[in-house]
């Protein structure tokens, strides 16, 4: 089954990751999800012909491979069966795909954010498939893949409502991957990059986008309002619409793709409340080099803050340890004779664990002497060492303790 449609951006890197690198694969995870409609029995049988061990339901296809390859075509399956897809491999490849009707996601809106590999778009008839691809072969801890796609699915509805933050994140990943030159300008900056939704946070984590780069990108992003209108606001707005228009919306909800209709309805609500908020115009069009320099500054600030925080935490722990040590010594004060007897009892067993305990008591005796000003500790210690000089292990432990 071939991959239909025209593409924005090259699939070379993605093809190499998914198809070429799995010749000697160790672990690959594939998950497809159908959202707008369920698969038919015939379609499920078609999918089964590609794998006898995959978990196939009316809304999903899930499989993983330790040895062997996926026999299907990801984009072809997306255009024909599914609305969302996730792939990961233990050599560091992460891929997320999402399909939307072209009437809610125009390729002209997508084009400024596309790159060679990090974000590409393919269109077939009235459907658009976006592909986000991240490569990181530096030996990170990897997940099995289960449960990762679910929080990403909400991005589809956000994109349909005109939210372009996911597209910008795909472009930002290309900046991070050095696919773009420093002199190139950034695309339109959507509002709300500083107030990401849970699904966008999940995308940032899955694509492993540098938080310093994201913070730099968000500096010129306007605040986003009306992210999710409440039922009371929505009812008040609907009451202002002419009855005939409301009847048209209701009829479309019954007869058409609910994602497209709800997306249009949301856009109309936002426009009616504040037309300025629907604009994606950025107050500044920075170059990639400028964004990278801002990100580097944020990275330095973050490291400095982390160092200050670590130093403050170390100081707090040190002061806490000193308080606990003082309390411990206070409880032992006046019991020095008994402590010396305890040391003799412990070393008499000639057991390594008791040697450790005996050295601990000797340290307490040294610190008690320093605290009280008594000067007989060293004399008593020398006599102790002389008595037990043949216990080589004990002598080594005493020396290592600095006694």
What's the whole-model pTM score?
Answer: 0.71
pLDDT at 233: 74
Q: Return the residue matching tokens 């004399």.
A: 379
The answer to whether residue 253 is domain-embedded is: no
Query: Percentages helix, strand, coil for the chain, rounded to the nearest 5?
Result: 55, 10, 35
Same domain, 398 and 295: no
Q: Mean pLDDT across the stretch 64-78?
A: 90
**pLDDT over 60 at 3, yes or no:** no
Same domain, 69 and 166: yes
The two structure tokens encoding residue 120: 């590409």
Same domain, 281 and 162: yes
pLDDT at 153: 95
The answer to whether residue 258 is domain-embedded is: no
The answer to whether residue 327 is domain-embedded is: no
Query: Domain range for residue 380?
Result: 333-403
Higher-pLDDT residue of 27 and 4 is 27
Same domain, 57 and 100: yes
pLDDT at 139: 55
Which residues lie closer than 8 Å to 77 by C-beta, 6 or more apart? 1, 32, 47, 61, 85
The distance in angstroms from the start CA to the end CA of the chain is 78
DSSP secondary structure string for all residues of 250-312: HHHHHHS-HHHHHHHHHHHHHHHH-GGGG----S---BHHHHHHHHHHHHHHHHHHHHHHHHH
Same domain, 290 and 383: no
pLDDT at 227: 53
Q: Mean pLDDT across the stretch 167-186?
A: 95
- pLDDT tens digits along 114-166: 999 999 999 998 899 999 999 987 755 667 888 999 999 999 999 988 899 99
Q: Name the 3-class secondary structure at 93.
A: strand
The answer to whether residue 249 is domain-embedded is: no
Same domain, 351 and 296: no
pLDDT at 11: 42
Q: How many domains does the chain have?
A: 2
Q: Mean pLDDT across the stretch 350-377?
A: 88
Same domain, 356 and 284: no
Same domain, 217 and 294: yes
| Alpha carbon distance 197, 209 (integer Å) | 15
Local confidence band at 282 (pLDDT 50, 70, 90 cut-offs): very low
Same domain, 125 and 67: yes
The answer to whether residue 243 is domain-embedded is: no
Q: Mean pLDDT across the stretch 276-305?
A: 79
Same domain, 337 and 210: no
Q: Mean pLDDT across the stretch 76-93?
A: 94
pLDDT at 350: 87
Same domain, 289 and 337: no
Same domain, 293 and 167: yes
Mean pLDDT for the chain? 84
pLDDT at 26: 82
């Amino acid at each position: 089954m071939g991959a239909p449609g025209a593409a924005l951006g090259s699939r070379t890197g993605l093809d190499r990751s998914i198809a070429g690198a799995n010749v000697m694969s160790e672990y690959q995870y594939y998950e497809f999800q159908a959202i707008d409609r369920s698969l038919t029995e015939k379609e499920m049988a078609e999918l089964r012909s590609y794998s006898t061990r995959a978990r196939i339901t009316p809304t999903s296809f899930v499989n993983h491979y330790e040895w062997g390859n996926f026999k299907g075509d990801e984009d072809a399956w997306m255009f024909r069966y599914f609305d969302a897809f996730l792939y990961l491999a233990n050599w560091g490849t992460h891929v997320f795909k999402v399909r939307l009707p072209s009437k809610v996601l125009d390729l002209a809106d997508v084009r400024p954010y596309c790159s060679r590999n990090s974000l590409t778009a393919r269109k077939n008839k009235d459907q658009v498939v976006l592909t986000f691809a991240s490569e990181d072969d530096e030996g990170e801890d990897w997940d099995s893949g289960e449960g990762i796609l679910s929080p990403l699915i909400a991005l589809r509805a956000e994109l349909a409502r005109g939210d372009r933050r996911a597209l910008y994140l795909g472009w930002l990943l290309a900046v991070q991957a050095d696919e773009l030159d420093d002199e190139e300008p950034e695309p339109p900056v959507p509002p709300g990059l500083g107030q990401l939704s849970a699904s966008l946070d999940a995308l940032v984590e899955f694509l492993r986008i540098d938080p310093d780069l994201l913070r730099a990108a968000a500096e010129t992003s306007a605040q986003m309002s009306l992210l999710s209108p409440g039922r009371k606001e929505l009812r008040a707005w609907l009451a202002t619409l002419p009855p005939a228009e409301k009847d048209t919306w209701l009829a479309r909800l019954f007869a058409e793709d609910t994602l497209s209709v709800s997306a249009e309805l949301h856009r109309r609500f936002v426009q009616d409340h504040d037309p300025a908020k629907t604009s994606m115009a950025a107050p500044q069009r920075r170059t990639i080099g400028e964004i990278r320099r801002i990100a580097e500054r944020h990275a330095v600030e973050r490291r400095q803050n982390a160092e200050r925080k670590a130093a403050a935490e170390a100081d707090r722990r040190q002061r806490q340890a000193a308080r606990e040590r003082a309390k411990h010594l206070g409880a032992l004060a006046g019991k020095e004779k008994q402590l010396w007897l305890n040391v003799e009892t412990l070393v008499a067993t000639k057991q390594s664990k008791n040697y450790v305990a005996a050295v601990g008591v000797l340290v307490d005796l040294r610190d008690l002497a320093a605290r009280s000003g008594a000067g007989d500790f060293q004399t008593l210690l020398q006599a102790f060492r002389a008595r037990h000089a043949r216990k080589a292990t004990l002598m080594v432990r005493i020396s290592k303790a600095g006694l």
